[in-house]
């Protein structure tokens, strides 16, 4: 069961849908009373004020997430509210525009808001989908356990290679390079897990041929260790792949939310200043 | 030929006798003090060297010319010898009382004969005999072997020996504790727990046992003693332990036959029976007084006070007992002397009616009278308090949230004279119901240990508590809507069964023939699923099972076996049928109660995976916990907010949980304290820094010395040794944390564990700060439901 299927989610699904329905009904009523509605009309202004208040409430989620002693309910409920109010705010802003999109600042604000809402929806989708895959990928080792084991293996490999011939060192360096994450490895993981060099029979016999015969037994041990190292790394990367996706949307959602706050403030001030309110 | 005439002859120069002699001398009363041994205070003299002598009860003042302060055996004896010499007390050593006759002579009614052939006439006689000369015997083969003793002279004389100590009183525990550091000591305790000894001694013994430095055999008895070993009957079966030395300290009895031959009457039969004495310590023989251990008073300070008081009584000077003021203050809502107040309580409360007034004095010294206003909560369901409560005025409403959750349901209304809290008393488990005052209520709240002592000595009170336990269990588990008055019919039909560890009570498919209630111990309920047996429940004291057998033609749906030695109350189907025939309306009540259980069985059959996870929870002993943290990995987005919350709400900046632990299907039981029902971490904490509050939360106080005993004792690795990293508050602290700056860690190492964020109104921060609801606390009453809800079925979305 995902976070969208629990009892809190069910309660808020009902509440959220009711709120959205109510907003649409209110807008239909407003259309009748105020056919030429726009951002500065009384109805449009009311939607704007509502949207601003909703944005502030949505931002409060970020505060609650870090207010660990808060008595204001569980964070689980806050997230459900955050989701539904996020959808509601988009409707409220659209109703506020009166479907007129001339003002560049207002349009930019709307665009950023759409980005915030869209990234939020993507986040909700990822939150609902990925934990199950991550659990399957991490069922054998936690990242901490895997990291500790990787370090041990790397030390054992270094010990095997120390004092060997330059050819042995080259093979060792090659194995190390394969196992070393490059720059932006974390970001690259988002595009999929890296394919590693083949470590089959052929590749191994080629590498064994590169080193002097007395060192081949040690190289065999090194290759076995390297293979184990690689498997472990792949398991860690599989976990990290899902972890990165669970986090990456926040890199859009949070900065866009902050930008939105600024834009809303500027939009409100300019509207009030230039339009005489 | 009469050797002398005395106003008062005192027999026994123990603390009581010495105090009586000292006070008689101070008042100028002609007295004679006889002592059969060659020294003062034979009982204390026979203590092991260096044994600490307590001056309890602390609340009661000492009143005597004889000094007494807590100290070592030697210091106490020396103080008494010095005092006796200074006061010039005349003591006839080596003079044992061999005959006592009450004659018709109104002036000198008593004729006493000593072992030396001396005859004395007395107006009054005080027997302060003690019980040292009459130790209880085991009654097993080998008891008279030379290595079996009833006293330990000097613990230092024993090094590296295999020693068996038998008994669970103060003396036995003190001997075990004195010998344990330098020897391999086993302690045999007849009961399932240590009831009679001082709690401080009990804690020390349990602590040594937890550390493997002392082996305790509970619910066990000695079957045979041999030169090098002892054969024990334990719940696990017969066990042979090495025993080069055996110390038998199972108490001592008053010399009943001798006392009865002198005309002294006893209250009741059996070895706990005491001589009848009135409030002036006078026995059933006018002019013959009994004080100290022979009258059942084992505490030295109280025996000394009795010695003082008995002389006052003999002289006809009214004097209140030393505990009078304390007791009067303890019982403020009754009138008269403490004895009269206790008598009033005996009239009002049937439970106390048959109890010995002396025992009740001890009980009320430990008890507290409390008042509650209308609607006020007296105790809450699931609390870990263990006091026993007796209603003296008003009404108390009992209600409970049913297993599996739901709205709280009223169970009963108890009126004055009734009692509750018997579940904690009998099973030691947490409260199973909530009690609230209905109108103004007054209660006597009695600590568990004090009540257990009363029950051990008062069969009538024990019977009443047992019966109430049964009736309430029948009402709760079988007939929630049947009047209590009818349920009393079932009480007499119940029998007791005591399965040993591993014993199977019945198997799945067996014909059902009885319902069981667990009084103590632990049982496992298992069902077959394919070719393996999975455990579906794990029942502890206070629970019941086998209900469906009470309906017609039902076979057992599970196999039940004892995990630990258990005591069960059994109600047979035949008896239940007879009851239902007399009360047909109760059948509908029973069927309504059993329908959800049938459905639960069907659900269980349909969700074998949940059963497997439950089985694993039991295998990993997570069920030992009362509030284990559980994370549903299919909901967890790995944001780590739970760990950050934990760090943030603790002043030392250290998290009490780590997101690694036991993984069962999609559930993770992280390394975080489970708040065990029986917390082993508490057993060996030198500064007593680990405490459990009424709600069952176990926490470590700031006086932790960082010894690490608790972390070692926790079998689940859920206590962490850390260097506190105090968090800076305010904006500066916030900014510092924002930029990743951390405070330097203290050099001091301390133990930390999850304390369920006690003090935080929002509850555990980890749960409150989980954005997806993946973190939850596992309530032991709803294991099965929780696991069934959370475990994903293969191929499904849950």
Pair B102, B110: CB distance under 8 Å = yes
Kindly state whether B768 is in contact with chain A, defined as any CB-CB distance less than 8 angstroms.
yes
Q: Which helix (H) or strand (E) holds B72?
A: strand B71-72
Half-sphere exposure of B783 (CA within 13 A, CB side): 22
Q: Is the Cβ pair B637, A75 closer than 8 Å?
A: no
Nearest CA in chain B to A126: B637
Pairing mode, strands B532-540 and B514-529: antiparallel
Mean per-residue pLDDT over chain A, rounded: 84
* Whole-number pLDDT of residue B437: 95
- A79/B649 Cβ within 8 A: no
Interface touch B641/A75, C-beta < 8 Å: yes
Does B283 sit behind a cis peptide bond, omega within 30 degrees of 0 on the bond before it? no
Spatial CB neighbours of B118, under 8 Å, sequence gap ≥ 6: B3, B95
Helix axes B573-582, B585-606, angle to 10 degrees: 140
Residue B155's pLDDT band (boundaries 50, 70, 90)?
confident
Give the phi and the psi of residue B666 in degrees, each rounded to 5. -90, 10
Radius of gyration of chain B from its Cα atoms, rounded to whole angstroms? 30
Strand ranges (E), B455-556: 495-497, 504-506, 514-529, 532-540, 544-545
Neighboring chain A residues of B638 at a CB cutoff of 8 Å: 131, 134, 243, 246
Chain A contact for B792 (CB, 8 A cutoff): yes
pLDDT cut 70: percent of chain A above it: 94
What's the token pair of residue B101? 């006759």
Residues 6+ apart with CB under 8 A from A15: A84
Q: Look at B272-286, B541-555, B683-697 and tell me which has the smallest mean pLDDT.
A: B683-697
- Of B634, B769, B770, which has the smallest distance from its Cβ to A135's Cβ? B634
Reported as a single tens digit per residue, the pLDDT across B190-244 is: 887 777 777 778 877 877 776 678 888 888 899 999 989 999 988 767 889 999 9
Helix (H, G, I), strand (E, B) or coil at B214: coil
Give the C-alpha separation, B659 to B694, whole Å: 28
What span, in angstroms and rounded, lies between the C-alpha atoms of B426 and B567?
11
For the CA atoms of B301, B307, B312, B315, the dihedral, rounded to the nearest 10 degrees, stands at 180
Query: Where is B392: in which H helix or E strand?
Result: strand B388-400
Find the helix packing angle between A166-179 and A201-210, rounded to 10°: 140
Q: How far is B727 from chain A (nearest CA, A)?
A: 14
Nearest to B682, CA basis, from B701, B710, B721, B724: B710
pLDDT of residue B797: 35
Residue B16: the pLDDT is 95
Q: What is the mean pLDDT of residues B14-40?
A: 94
- Cα torsion B178, B180, B186, B191 to 10°: value is 50
3-state secondary structure of B414: strand
| Residue among A114, A57, A161, A73 nearest A263 (CA) | A114
Contact B798 A76 (CB under 8 A): no
Distance from CA of B789 to the nearest CA of A (A): 9
**Is B539:B525 a contact under the CB 8 Å cutoff?**
yes
Q: Is B616 on the interface with A (CB under 8 A)?
A: no
Of B666, B761, B772, the CB nearest to A135: B666
d(CA A206, nearest CA chain B) in Å: 41
Look at residue B596 in the predicted model and tell me its pLDDT: 65
Partner residue facing B761 (CB), from A5, A9, A71 = A71
CB B163 within 8 A of CB B244: yes
Residues of chain A contacting residue B772, judged by C-beta atoms under 8 Å apart: 3, 76, 79, 127, 131
Rounded Cα gap, residues B263 and A203, in angstroms:
105
Predicted local distance difference test score (pLDDT) of residue B796: 37
Of A66, A76, A130, the CB nearest to B773: A76
**Which pairing describes strands B628-632 and B775-778: parallel, antiparallel, or unpaired?**
antiparallel
Confidence of residue A277 (pLDDT cuts 50, 70, 90): very low
The angle formed by the CA atoms of residues B37, B41 and B45, to the nearest 5 degrees, is 85
Nearest to B262 by CA among B107, B94, B125: B125
**What is the model's pLDDT at position B698?**
78
Of the pLDDT bands very low, low, confident and very high (cuts 50, 70, 90), residue B798 is very low
Q: Which residue has the higher pLDDT, A212 or A191?
A: A212
B518: Cα separation from own chain's centroid: 18
The conformation of residue B497, written as its DSSP 8-state character, comes to E
Mean pLDDT of B134-151: 88
- Structure tokens, B756: 């369920």
> What average pLDDT does this structure show over A144-164?
81
Give the three-state DSSP class for B752: strand
Chain A: residues touching B (Cβ < 8 Å): 1-3, 5-6, 8-9, 65-66, 68-71, 74-76, 78-79, 127, 130-132, 134-135, 139, 142, 144-145, 243, 246
Give the ranges where chain A is alpha helix by DSSP (H): 7-33, 42-66, 75-97, 104-137, 143-161, 166-179, 185-188, 201-210, 216-274
The CA distance from B755 to the nearest CA of chain A, in Å, is 15
Model confidence at B665: pLDDT above 60: yes
The span from the CA of B12 to the CA of B33, in Å, is: 7
Residues B465-493 have pLDDT tens digits of: 888 888 888 887 788 788 878 888 888 88
Q: In chain B, what residues touch A1 (CB-CB under 8 Å)?
A: 632, 634-635, 790, 792, 797-798
**Which residues 6+ apart lie within 8 Å of A146 measured at CB?**
A232, A235, A236, A239
Between residues B665 and B451, the one the model is more confident about? B451
The minimum CA-CA distance between A127 and chain B, rounded to whole Å, is 6
Residue B427 pLDDT: 63
- Closest partner residue to A68 (CB to CB) among B634, B649, B663 is B649
Closest CA to B205 of B217, B191, B222, B219: B217
- Residue B20 CA to residue B13 CA, distance in Å, equals 9
User: CB–CB of B770 and A6 under 8 A?
Assistant: no
* ipTM confidence score: 0.82
The alpha-carbon gap from A71 to the nearest alpha carbon of chain B, in Å, equals 5
Chain A partners of B769 at a C-beta cutoff of 8 Å?
65, 68, 75
Cβ of B638 under 8 Å from any chain A Cβ? yes
CA A157 vs CA A144, B550, B741: distances in Å: 20, 68, 35
Specify the DSSP element, H or E, that contains B721. Answer: strand B720-722
B649 touches chain A (CB under 8 A): yes
What's the pLDDT at B108? Answer: 92
Residues of B in contact with A5 (CB under 8 A): 797-798
The tokens of B647 are what?
């760090």
CA distance A130 to chain B (A): 8
Interface residue B733 vs chain A (CB under 8 A): no
Task: Look at strands B119-127 and B288-290 and give their pairing.
Answer: parallel
- How many Å lie between the alpha carbon of B664 and the closest alpha carbon of chain A? 9
C-alpha span between B634 and A132 (Å, rounded): 5
- Residue contact A74–B635, C-beta within 8 A: no
User: Can you name the residues that pair with B396 across neighbouring β-strands?
Assistant: B414, B437
Q: Mean of the per-residue pLDDT values for chain B?
A: 83
Residue A118 has a pLDDT of 94
- The arithmetic mean of pLDDT across residues A147-170, rounded, is 84
- Coil, strand or helix: which one is B19? helix
Question: What percent of chain B stands above pLDDT 90?
Answer: 26
Cβ-contact B175, B152 below 8 angstroms: yes
Nearest residue to B253 (alpha-carbon basis) of B283, B281, B294 = B294
Burial A17-38 (b: 16+ CB within 10 A, else e): eebeeebeebbeebeeeeeebe
pLDDT recorded at residue A117:
93
Reported for B501-506, long-range contacts at CB under 8 A and 24+ positions apart, including other chains, are B501/B235, B501/B236, B501/B562, B501/B563, B501/B564, B501/B565, B502/B561, B502/B562, B503/B561, B503/B562, B504/B559, B504/B560, B504/B561, B505/B560, B505/B561, B505/B562, B505/B568, B506/B546, B506/B556, B506/B559, B506/B560
Give every CB contact of residue B553 below 8 A, 6+ residues apart in sequence.
none
In tens, the pLDDT along A65-106 reads 888 888 888 899 899 999 999 999 999 999 998 888 878 888
Q: Which of A120-134, B25-39, B684-698 has the lowest mean pLDDT?
A: B684-698
For residue B117, count CB atoms less than 10 angstroms from its CB and return exposed for 0-12, middle for 13-18, buried for 19 or more: exposed
- Of B634, B767, B771, nearest to A1 by CB-CB distance is B634
Q: Distance between CA atoms of B644 and B637, rounded to whole angstroms?
A: 14
If you average pLDDT over residues A54-61, what whole number do you get?
91
End-to-end CA, chain B: 99
Mutation target for A interface from B650, B771, B789: give the one with most A CBs within 10 A. B771
- Region of B199 please: left (phi>0), alpha (psi -120 to 50) or beta: alpha
**Mean pLDDT within A134-143:** 71
Chain A residue nearest residue B775, CA to CA: A76
Query: Nearest CB to A75: which of B648, B770, B797?
Result: B770
Give the integer Cα–Cα distance in Å for B683 and B213: 13
Q: Is the backbone of residue B210 left (phi > 0), alpha (psi -120 to 50) or beta?
A: alpha
Is the per-residue pLDDT at B604 higher than 70?
no
Task: Judge if pTM exceeds 0.80.
Answer: no
* pLDDT of B257 strictly over 60: yes
- Write out pLDDT tens, residues B694-739: 666 778 877 777 777 788 777 677 888 888 776 666 667 667 766 6
* Confidence check: pLDDT of B609 > 60: no
Q: Which of B322-331, B375-384, B619-628, B775-784 has the lowest mean pLDDT?
A: B619-628
Q: What is the DSSP letter of B682?
A: G
Give the span between the Cα atoms of B64 and B320, in whole angstroms.
Answer: 14
Q: Which of A61, A49, A112 shows the shortest CA–CA distance to A85?
A: A61
In B417-531, the DSSP E strands lie at 419-420, 434-446, 495-497, 504-506, 514-529
């Amino acid at each position: 069961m995902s976070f969208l299927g629990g009892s809190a989610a069910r309660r808020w699904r009902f509440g959220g849908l009711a709120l959205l329905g109510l907003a649409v009904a209110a807008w239909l009523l407003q259309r009748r009373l105020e056919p030429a509605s726009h951002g500065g009309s009384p109805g449009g202004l009311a939607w704007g004020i509502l949207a601003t208040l909703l944005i502030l409430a949505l931002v409060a989620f970020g505060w609650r997430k870090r207010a660990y002693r808060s008595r204001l309910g569980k964070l689980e409920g806050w997230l459900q509210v955050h989701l539904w109010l996020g959808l509601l705010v988009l409707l409220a802003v659209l109703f506020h525009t009166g479907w007129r999109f001339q003002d560049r600042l207002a349009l930019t604000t709307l665009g950023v808001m759409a980005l915030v809402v869209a990234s939020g929806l993507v986040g909700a989708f990822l939150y609902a989908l990925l934990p199950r895959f991550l659990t399957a990928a991490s069922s054998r080792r936690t990242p901490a356990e895997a990291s500790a084991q990787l370090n041990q293996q790397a030390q054992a490999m270094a010990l095997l290679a120390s004092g060997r011939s330059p050819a042995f060192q080259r093979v060792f360096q090659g194995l190390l390079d394969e196992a070393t994450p490059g720059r932006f490895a974390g970001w690259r993981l988002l595009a999929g897990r890296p394919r590693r060099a083949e470590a089959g029979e052929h590749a191994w016999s080629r590498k064994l041929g590169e080193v002097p015969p007395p060192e081949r037994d040690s190289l065999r041990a090194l290759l076995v260790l390297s293979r184990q190292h690689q498997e472990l790394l792949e398991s860690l990367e599989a976990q990290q792949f899902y972890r990165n996706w669970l986090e990456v949307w926040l890199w859009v959602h949070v900065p866009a939310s902050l930008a939105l706050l600024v834009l809303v403030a500027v939009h409100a001030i300019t509207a009030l200043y230039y339009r005489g309110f | 030929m009469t050797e002398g005439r005395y106003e008062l002859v005192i027999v026994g120069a123990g603390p009581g006798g010495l105090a009586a002699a000292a006070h008689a001398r101070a008042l100028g009363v002609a007295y004679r003090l006889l002592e059969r041994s060659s020294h003062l205070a034979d009982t204390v003299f026979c203590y092991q060297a260096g044994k600490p002598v307590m001056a309890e009860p602390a609340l009661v003042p000492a009143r005597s010319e004889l000094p007494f302060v807590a100290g070592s055996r030697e210091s106490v004896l020396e103080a008494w010898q010095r005092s006796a010499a200074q006061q010039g007390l005349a003591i006839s050593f080596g003079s044992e009382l061999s005959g006592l006759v009450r004659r018709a002579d109104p002036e000198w009614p008593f004729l006493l004969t000593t072992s030396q052939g001396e005859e004395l006439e007395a107006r009054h006689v005080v027997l302060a005999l003690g019980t040292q000369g009459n130790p209880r015997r085991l009654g097993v083969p080998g008891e008279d072997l030379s290595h079996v003793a009833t006293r330990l002279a000097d613990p230092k004389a024993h090094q590296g020996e295999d020693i068996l100590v038998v008994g669970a009183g103060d003396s036995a525990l003190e001997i075990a504790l004195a010998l344990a550091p330098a020897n391999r000591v086993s302690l045999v305790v007849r009961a399932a727990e240590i009831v009679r000894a001082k709690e401080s001694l009990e804690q020390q013994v349990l602590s040594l046992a937890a550390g493997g430095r002392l082996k305790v055999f509970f619910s066990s008895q000695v079957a045979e003693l041999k030169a090098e070993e002892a054969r024990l009957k334990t719940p696990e079966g017969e066990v042979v332990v090495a025993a080069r030395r055996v110390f038998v300290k199972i108490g001592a009895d008053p010399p009943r036959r001798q006392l009865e031959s002198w005309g002294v009457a006893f209250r009741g039969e059996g070895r706990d029976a005491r001589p009848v004495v009135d409030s002036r310590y006078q026995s059933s023989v006018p002019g013959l007084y009994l004080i100290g251990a022979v009258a059942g008073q084992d505490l030295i300070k109280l025996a000394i006070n009795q010695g003082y008081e008995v002389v006052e009584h003999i002289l006809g000077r009214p004097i209140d007992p030393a505990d009078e003021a304390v007791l009067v203050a303890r019982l403020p809502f009754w009138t008269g002397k403490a004895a009269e107040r206790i008598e009033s309580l005996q009239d009002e409360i049937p439970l106390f009616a048959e109890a010995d007034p002396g025992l009740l004095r001890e009980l009320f010294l430990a008890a507290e009278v409390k008042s509650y206003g209308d609607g006020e909560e007296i105790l809450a369901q699931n609390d870990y308090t263990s006091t026993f409560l007796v209603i003296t005025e008003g009404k108390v409403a009992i209600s409970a949230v049913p297993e599996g959750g739901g709205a709280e349901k009223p169970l009963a209304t108890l009126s004055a004279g009734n009692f509750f809290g018997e579940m904690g008393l009998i099973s030691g488990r947490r409260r199973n119901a909530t009690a609230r005052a209905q109108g103004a209520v007054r209660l006597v709240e009695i600590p568990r240990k004090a009540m257990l002592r009363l029950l051990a000595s008062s069969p009538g009170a024990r019977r009443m508590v047992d019966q109430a336990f049964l009736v309430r269990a029948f009402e709760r588990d079988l007939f929630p809507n049947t009047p209590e008055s009818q349920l009393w019919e079932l009480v007499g039909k119940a029998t007791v069964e005591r399965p040993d560890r591993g014993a199977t009570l019945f198997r799945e498919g067996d014909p059902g023939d009885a319902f069981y209630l667990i009084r103590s111990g632990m049982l496992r309920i298992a069902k077959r699923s394919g070719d393996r047996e999975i455990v579906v429940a794990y029942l502890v004291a206070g629970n019941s099972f086998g209900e469906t057998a009470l309906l017609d033609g039902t076979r057992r749906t599970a196999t039940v076996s004892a995990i630990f030695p258990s005591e069960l109350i059994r109600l047979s189907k035949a008896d239940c049928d007879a009851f239902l025939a007399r009360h047909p309306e109760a059948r509908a009540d029973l069927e309504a109660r059993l329908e959800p259980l049938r459905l639960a069985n069907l659900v269980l059959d349909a969700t074998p995976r949940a059963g497997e996870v439950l089985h694993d929870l039991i295998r990993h002993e997570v069920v030992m916990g009362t509030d284990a943290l559980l994370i549903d990995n299919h909901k967890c987005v790995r944001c780590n907010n739970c760990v950050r919350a934990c760090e943030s709400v603790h002043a030392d900046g250290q998290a009490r949980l780590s997101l690694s632990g036991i993984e069962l299907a999609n559930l993770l039981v992280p390394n975080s304290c489970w708040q065990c029902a029986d917390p082993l971490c508490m057993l060996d904490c030198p500064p007593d820094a680990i405490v459990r509050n009424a709600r069952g939360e176990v926490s470590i106080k700031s006086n932790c010395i960082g010894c690490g005993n608790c972390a070692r004792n926790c079998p689940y690795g859920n206590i962490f040794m850390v260097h506190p990293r105090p968090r800076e508050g305010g904006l500066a602290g916030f900014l510092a944390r924002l930029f990743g700056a951390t405070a330097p860690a203290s050099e001091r190492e301390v133990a930390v564990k999850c304390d369920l964020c006690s003090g935080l109104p929002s509850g555990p921060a980890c749960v409150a700060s989980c954005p997806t609801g993946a973190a939850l606390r596992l309530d032991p009453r709803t294991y099965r439901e929780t696991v069934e809800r959370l475990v994903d079925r293969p191929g499904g979305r849950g």
